[in-house]
Chains A and B, each alone.
Chain A
Amino acid sequence: MNALAKNLTKNQGEERMSLINRLSGAVGAGALALLAFAGSAAAQEFTVPEATIGDGNTAFMMIATVLVLLMILPGLALFYGGLVRTKNMLSVLMQVLSISAVMMILWVLVGYSLAFTANPNEALNPFVGGFAKMFLAGVDPTTMGATFSNGSYIPEYVFVCFQMTFACITPALIVGAFAERIKFSGMLLFMIGWSLLAYYPLAHMVWYWGGPDIFANAKIALLAAGGDAAPADAVAAYDAIIGDAGYLFTKGALDFAGGTVVHINAGIAGLVLCILLGKRVGYGKDAMPPHSLTMTMIGASLLWVGWFGFNAGSNLEANGTAALAMINTFVATAAAALIWAGAEWIFRGHPSLLGGVSGAIAGLVAITPACGWVGPMGAIILGLVAGIVCFFFCTTVKNALKYDDSLDVFGVHGVGGIIGAIGTGILVHPDFGGTGLADYLSVPGTFQTGAVDIAAQVWIQTQGVLLTVVWTAVVTTVLYYVINFTVGMRVKEDAEREGLDISSHGERAYNM
């Protein structure tokens, strides 16, 4: 079991675990009191189920993985493409396609290892992984990735691919912030640097842990060594195993499918980049209406469909929690779409299609960190709040502060992600229909539900948000200046006026 466990991939989605750490007092001083509780159970025999790969889970995750790809290509590409002017349509499609392709390669070369392995340097391990699985060393068809149930695994290749699609879509989301003025070469370099310095570390901080069996085995070993009377070295060994996890995971930050890692990360990077790059030529003077809201509708709809792979797939198993993520991904999105379009109807006289789809995306973003933790009614509340607040940011705030976030990456993904991350800390409480926190330690080998202290959880969620915001803002700023003074980050004014399709790519979207 332990030998197998060594080979497991660490999972994502599971910050849940971290809670557990706190609950069961895995770390530090709190340990004693909780160990006493655990000690009373020590007389029982705890067993961890045999590690098996479920065919159904594997098939489910393969489908979820390609659904996330569908979100990007063509979902996100068309969603963004429809929002730009005709002369920049292909540039946006090409940026999304190219980023995806680059990130797939980068992921198997080094990204997976940096996100989902332990760093031999203990001080760095909470923040970034090591190079043990560079070039996917040691990964083969027989290796397994842990899920969130004891004894339940999926092939590691499936886990690598699923996480790969997340590493592709996150940088692709940023495209919307600098659309219509970015230099293609500088953009590619930026995305590589940003993935190495921001995405992989954040993914490691939030999603890296040992998996349920490693936690259970560590706890069983501790109990065998005497439980609360265990010698110091046994406690230290236990702490080391439980503590081998990402910084935010250990803190207990909840992020089911990527509110911090994906959406806040991309949203803040987009905001910083669009401010540093400056406004588009003619911004505020020339009309820059979307060239095809039909395509935006197609893209947004594909995003919604694909998001079921993203959210339900983040559960890594086809079970009740995946079903919870699924229904939440329906209702939060619907609520947000209705309230955004409704707000337009009230304040401006017309419910617009663009408002409806923008609300839908805001709802999808907000439910992402929460989808496996909150109940359907909580999801509706989250959708309503995200829809109205993101509407306010994309209209009033953006116009007041006059930054040119071309396609509202910050207003939708940054703001929606923050609402979702904080809201998760409240709505996870069973009183609001939430699931409560995950607990793999109080009865090792099983999954239990732990109590929620809302104030404490909200503070943890807030720390996760703040760390993500600061980290990605610093990385983005540094990369921008380095690349801007070497390769350049923005096209020349003439090229921008002509349109990036012709000036950067030598082709035209529509020859009619």
Chain B
Amino acid sequence: MKLITAVIKPFKLDEVREALTALGVMGLTVTEVKGYGRQKGHTEIYRGAEYAISFVPKLKLEVAVKTELVDAVIEAIVSKAKTGQIGDGKIFVYPLDHVVRIRTGETDSEAL
């Protein structure tokens, strides 16, 4: 099992979710986050004051999947979240040791 974390542009969420659902992914956690990478923020101007906004709003997706699904999930996120512009985000993949469904007590792949 793997935990895939992806940071994406907020307006790409719906497309990504649809693609993941089509792959059979049954659950997804989304968090509103701020951060920067190569995009290095942007500037905003309020009357005469210009501010460098270094932390750009993004969405962080967390999805736990069986190992065999990892490549398909990554490919789906990349294809749907990509605009080709700087600031499209990143995907991180972690090993996942253990999963428990609280309601039933099912574990690991049965709980996904």
Taking Cβ atoms with an 8 Å cutoff, the residues of A that contact B are 287-290, 344, 348, 350, 352, 354-355, 358, 394-396, 398-399, 408, 411
Contact = CB atoms under 8 A, between A and B. Distances in A.
Interface string B34-53: 00000000001111110111
A286 to B, nearest CB: 9
A287 B51 contact: yes
A387 to B, nearest CB: 13
Interface residues of B, number: 9
Secondary structure dominating the interface of A: helix
A346 to B, nearest CB: 14
A242 B45 CA distance: 53
B46 A290 contact: yes
Contact of A348 (B45, B49, B51, B52): B45
A289 B46 contact: yes
28 contacts: A287-B51, A287-B52, A287-B53, A288-B49, A288-B51, A289-B44, A289-B49, A289-B51, A289-B53, A290-B46, A344-B45, A348-B45, A350-B45, A352-B45, A352-B46, A354-B46, A354-B47, A355-B47, A358-B47, A394-B47, A394-B48, A395-B47, A395-B48, A396-B48, A398-B48, A399-B48, A408-B47, A411-B47
Contacts of B46: 289-290, 352, 354
A358 B44 CA distance: 16
A505 B52 CA distance: 30
A59 to B, nearest CB: 39
Interface string B13-54: 000000000000000000000000000000011111101110
Contacts of B47: 354-355, 358, 394-395, 408, 411
Q: Which 4 A-B pairs have the closest CB atoms?
A: A395-B48, A287-B51, A394-B47, A399-B48
A90 B49 CA distance: 23
Q: Which of B44, B46, B51, B53 has the most CB of A within 10 A?
A: B46
Given A289-B51, A352-B45, 5 more contacts: A287-B52, A287-B53, A352-B46, A398-B48, A408-B47
Contacts of A350: 45
Contacts of A399: 48
A331 B44 CA distance: 30
Nearest to A390: B47
Contacts of A358: 47
A181 to B, nearest CB: 16
Nearest to B54: A287
Contacts of B48: 394-396, 398-399
A344 B27 CA distance: 45
B92 to A, nearest CB: 28
A344 B51 CA distance: 16
A399 B45 CA distance: 13
A408 B48 CA distance: 10
Contacts of B45: 344, 348, 350, 352
Contacts of B49: 288-289
Contacts of B51: 287-289
A480 B46 CA distance: 29
Interface in B45-88: 45-49, 51-53
A290 B51 CA distance: 11
Contacts of A348: 45
B89 to A, nearest CB: 23
A359 to B, nearest CB: 10
B6 to A, nearest CB: 26
A274 B49 CA distance: 16
A31 to B, nearest CB: 51
A480 to B, nearest CB: 25
Contacts of A395: 47-48
A287 B43 CA distance: 10
Contacts of B53: 287, 289
Nearest to A348: B45
Contacts of A396: 48
Nearest to B48: A395
B43 to A, nearest CB: 10
A425 B52 CA distance: 43
A34 B48 CA distance: 52
B50 to A, nearest CB: 9
A95 B29 CA distance: 43
Nearest to B47: A394
A348 B46 CA distance: 11
A399 B48 CA distance: 7
A348 B45 CA distance: 9
A288 B49 CA distance: 9
Contacts of A408: 47
Nearest to A344: B45
B14 to A, nearest CB: 24
Nearest to B55: A287
A458 B52 CA distance: 44
Contacts of B44: 289
Q: Which of A287, A350, A398, A408 has the most CB of B within 10 A?
A: A287
A350 B44 CA distance: 11
A408 B53 CA distance: 22
A350 to B, nearest CB: 8
A357 to B, nearest CB: 10
A408 B46 CA distance: 11
